[in-house]
């Protein structure tokens, strides 16, 4: 089913973004609608539930991970004997 956009600004934005990202106009509109749908869902659920869902998604990525030691954290932050 075709979709006709009769708004010059919307058409211009879709054209610009699709050219920049090398994504079709259809894919760009699909992604934008999915993002909007996710944002609307986010506001419908309580924060505690959103945090739990986020942690459930992230937890598998952290399996086997460990907290860096103090010297490792300091090295990451660029600390040395003379300070930062």
What tens digit of pLDDT does each residue of 42-57 get?
Answer: 677 788 988 999 999 9
Please give the residue range of the domain that contains residue 25: 8-77
Q: Does residue 43 or residue 13 have the better pLDDT? A: 13
The proportion of the chain whose per-residue pLDDT surpasses 70, expressed as a percent, equals: 95
Q: What is the count of structural domains for the chain?
A: 1
Among 17, 40, 39, which residue's Cα sits nearest to residue 27?
17
Non-local CB neighbours of 78 within 8 Å, separated by 6+ positions: 84
Three-state SS letters, the chain:
CCCCCCCHHHHHHHHHHHHHHCCCHHHHHHHHHHHHHHHHHHHHCCHHHHHHHHHHHHHHHHCCCCCCCHHHHHHHHCCECCEC
pLDDT over threshold 80, residue 1: no
The per-residue pLDDT for 84 is 61
Residue 32 falls within a domain, yes or no?
Answer: yes
What is the model's pLDDT at position 20?
84
- Calculate the average pLDDT of the chain: 86
Residue 1, in any domain of the structure? no
83, part of any domain: no
Regarding pTM above 0.85, the answer is: no
Note whether residue 84 is domain-resident: no
- 73 in a structural domain: yes
Residue 82 lies in a domain: no
Task: Determine, yes or no, domain membership for 19.
Answer: yes
């Amino acid at each position: 089913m075709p979709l006709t956009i009769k708004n010059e600004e919307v058409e211009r934005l879709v054209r610009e973004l699709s050219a920049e990202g090398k994504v079709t106009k259809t894919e760009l509109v699909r992604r934008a609608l999915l993002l909007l749908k996710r944002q609307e869902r986010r506001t419908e659920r309580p924060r505690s539930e959103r945090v739990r869902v986020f942690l459930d998604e992230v937890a598998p990525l952290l399996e086997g991970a460990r907290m860096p030691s103090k010297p490792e954290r300091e090295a990451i932050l660029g600390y040395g004997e003379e300070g930062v």
